[in-house]
Chains A and B, each alone.
Chain A
Amino acid sequence: MLAKLILTDPEKCQGCKRCELQCAIEKSEGKTLLTAIKEQQRPRIRVIGNTQSIPNICRHCDGICIANCPTKAIQRTPEGAVIIDEEKCVNCLLCLGACPFDVPRVLERTVMKCDLCISKVLEGRVPACVEGCPVSALKFEMRETPIDRRLLLSQAFALPPRRYDLTLRASESPKEIMDRAKTIARTARLLEVTASAKRAREKLGLAPPPGDAVDELSKLVAATMLSDKMTEIKIWTSR
């Protein structure tokens, strides 16, 4: 079945979070910014990521949330969207545990997720977040649905490699984390002794400099990557 879906392009995303704002406005009663604030609406799309902004939204994939829902509150509509029936939802949070993309969010008595702005789409318009994105990092395009979630997971955060990327990815195994920690540790190791410096050291009668400790350092970096990040560290005290 072909259906239009929201596709994200993390490389274009600038992290302005306008999609979040537009989503909250669209979901509010009065569909204005004021009503959204008054109702304390929360967006269905989230811009995540530490070094790189990644718009995170429901992919409407062949997710196991549908199969996991004990009350069959989560259903796929004929338009290809996966939606939650709030009447049936008993807030058991099994869909939260099932979602590999960390998409469903808990409300007071129910769970919320993207419904692909189904009412807007039926009018022939595009979803609010796609409409709001100023850099077309979000697109509303035709795809074969449902998309295989394993395929999505392999591409989910397929960003260009960054030199100092400390963001943990959803798909990473401990071995991958260790590999990345080693890369970071290598950037912080001591420089190689150049041939000319080696000659100069010999000429000046200096012993070769002590070796570095990259293995120990990579262990340390991996430990900091896995630990809770400190949100606040005291910076320079004032003069």
Chain B
Amino acid sequence: MTNLLLDAEQLYGELRSGVARLLSPDTVLVGIWSGGAWLAQRLNADLKTGRPVGTISSTLHRDDFGERGLGAVEATTSLPFEIDGARILLIDDVVASGRTIRAVVNELFDYGRPASVELAVLVDRGGRELPIAPAFAAAKLTLPATQRLSLARGTDGRFTFAVKETT
């Protein structure tokens, strides 16, 4: 495991500025479990939106359920506001293939019909397999397919990135 030259806290600052520009007065933030949920909670507090923040899980809509099974289900969706007509800004730590985004958009539509859905991420690592593009990415980089990038949150609430080799 290497820590790479990716300063998660610095990127968070850029994400905060990017998200601030995307926010309209009625936008609600929805973080994708788990890394995106941490980010959305902190963004919601730092940007003082005054609105509740949502968490969304892709578990029940994943397209690789057949291969991966259900595994441990810790993630649950919590959307404490009306979805019909809402302007939603999805937040995630990393976007790659876009399959997680596809799954959470499906999950979102089970709760209602939002007016719009946008996406902001810390890192766009490329390798898209679906026509999905974030409205804002704090960093764009290319990583070998064997490396997995994941956000970690320390006990002090600070973010770090970890890269794991997968085989």
Q: A and B bound? A: no
* Residues of A near any B CB (own CB < 8 A): none
